[in-house]
Structure formats: C-alpha cells, structure tokens
Chains A and B, each alone.
Chain A
Amino acid sequence: MQGFIKTLFGDRRTFLIAAINIVIVFALMKTPAASLAGIILPLGVFCGAIYLAKH
C-alpha cells in the first residue's frame, strides 16, 4: 500500500513542490498576467526537478 501511495503522489517534498507550483499558477491565471502561466509552470516544475536532484 505504501508503494502504491508513493508511486501516485511521490514523497512529501515532490508533492509540495508540485502543489505550490499549481497554486501559484492558479492564482496567476486570475490576474491580467495570466499569459505568463505558460512560462511559470514549466519553469517552476523544472526547477523542482533540479531541487530534487540535488537533495
């Protein structure tokens, strides 16, 4: 069961990084700068992957 949950959601850090990125983009989509979301989310999750690589 633990393996199943870890496969779906990853560890706590991975989940938090993805969730924070999505919350930021969700908020951004409600502003006039919504068009930046197409840069912010890919950049954010890529930086998240780099963070996970280092830690």
Chain B
Amino acid sequence: MIGTVVTIFLTATVEWVEAFTILLAVALSIGWPRALAAGLAALATLAVLTSIGSIALGHIGNLRLLQFLVGFFLILFGMRWLGKAIARGGGLKKLHDETAEFESLMGRAEIHETRAAFMIAFNGVLLEGLEVWLIVVALGVQTQHTLAAGAAALVSLLVVLGAGFAIHRPLATVPENTIKFTVGCGILAFGTFWTLQALGYHWPLGDTALLALFGCNIAAGLGVMQLYKLQII
C-alpha cells in the first residue's frame, strides 16, 4: 500500500505542478476567482470520472480480467512516462520548463478574453488531471485502496497549491523529470507484474519481484540515459 500511495502522490505532483502553471497564467489574466472556478469545475469532473471508473472496474467479476486490464493500462502509461523521462534525461529532448510554459501561455491572445481563458484553465486542469485519474483508479481498484489512492492525489494537490500560492510563480524548481523517471519505472513494474500474473505466470519471488522489476528499470534507465548523454547510442 505504501508503494501505491507514494506512486500516486508523485504522479499527481508532476501533473498538479503543470496544472498550477496554467491556472496561474489564467488567474493573472482574468483574476483568481474565475480561474479557481474553472479549476474546481475540472476537479469536480475528475471526481465524477474517478467514481464512475472505480465503480465500473469494481463491477468486473473476473479478477484476472480486471488485473489484466489494469496491468495493460499501466504498461501503456509507464512506457510513455519512462520514454519521455529518458529522452529528456539523455538530452534527446529539452527538459520541461514551467517558466517557459507560463510565458508561452501569457503570450496567447485568447488568455485575455474571459470565456476563452476560463476554458484554457478548465481544459488544462482536466487534461493534466486525467493522468492522475487513471493512476488513482487503476492502482486504487487493483490494490483495493481506492480511498487511500484518492487521498494521496488530494494531499499532493494541496501541497502543490500551498507551494504555488506561497511563491506566486510557476513551480519551476520541482525536479519533474526525476519524478517522471522514478514514477515511470514504478508504474512499468506494477504493469508488467500484474499483466503476467493475470496471464497465469507465477513470479518466483512473489511480491518481492515488484521491487526487483522496479530496481532493474531504474538501473537500466539510468544506464541508457548515460549512453545517450555520451552519444554512444
């Protein structure tokens, strides 16, 4: 359960940091009350989606099918995050820069128009939050700790909002790529572990295999990033 909660907290932190940048840009343009209303509307939509997703997955009677579906979605998610983190860490892509993102948003003409800015904030928070939703539902349902999963995402939101309001700037110093790399390795480990278990595979080390998979992903990922940095591959 601790692994699940930490994974969700870290995933949510990366997403909420990006959502806060959007919210801040919109707030400086149309004011905090409207920006917060857009953010709250998006969060309410996510809460409804989380309930629907949890209930729908909870109604799948076949536990192996449920485990397979969750594992498959986690593999898809983990590969994307790990791929992005390796590309950025290895110098193939520029690191995600919240300050640049903020300036780019402030440069958009439509952000100064109330309705368009409201939609930018709503869509931004919703899209960033969808990845949090996916992880909360998948890990929550599979580990039967949906409430703890939701709480981890909520605590992360409060931490990011608190830090954001305190410094009143984009949270550019959060080590997003390191978090993305670690979470990508963890999610990929969960995904492969559960997918194979659902297919009838018996892991030789039991649940300890999860830690071994996570460790192998970290070590191999760091190695590949180093090879990219040295331009060996």
Binding site for B on A (CB under 8 A): 3-4, 7-10, 14-15, 17-18, 21-22, 25-26, 29, 34, 37-38, 41-42, 45-46, 48-54
Contact = CB atoms under 8 A, between A and B. Distances in A.
Contact of A14 (B80, B131, B133, B199): B80
B217 interface: yes
B192 interface: yes
Given A3-B130, A38-B196, A53-B92, A10 B76 contact: yes
B204 A14 contact: no
Tell me the dominant secondary structure on chain B's binding face. helix
Given A53-B86, A53-B224, 6 more contacts: A7-B133, A25-B195, A42-B192, A45-B192, A48-B83, A52-B79
A55 B38 CA distance: 35
Interface in B152-169: none
12 contacts: A7-B127, A15-B76, A29-B199, A37-B196, A42-B192, A45-B188, A46-B82, A50-B83, A53-B82, A53-B83, A53-B90, A54-B87
A41 B196 contact: yes
Interface of B: 72-73, 75-80, 82-84, 86-87, 90, 92, 123, 126-127, 130-131, 133-134, 184, 188-189, 191-192, 195-196, 199-201, 203-204, 209, 213, 216-217, 220-221, 224, 228
Contact of B213 (A42, A48, A49): A42
Tell me the dominant secondary structure on chain A's binding face. helix
Given A25-B199, A29-B201, A54-B92, A3 B72 contact: no
B224 A50 contact: yes
- Which 6 residue pairs are nearest across A and B when measured between Cβ atoms? A52-B83, A53-B87, A49-B82, A53-B86, A7-B130, A49-B83
Nearest to B88: A53
A37 B199 CA distance: 10
Nearest to A17: B79
Contacts of A51: 83
A8 B192 CA distance: 17
B92 A45 contact: no
A38 B127 contact: no
A49 B216 contact: no
Contact of A49 (B86, B92, B196): B86
Contacts of A22: 72, 75, 195
A15 B73 CA distance: 9
A38 B201 contact: yes
B195 A41 contact: yes
B196 A14 contact: no
B205 to A, nearest CB: 10
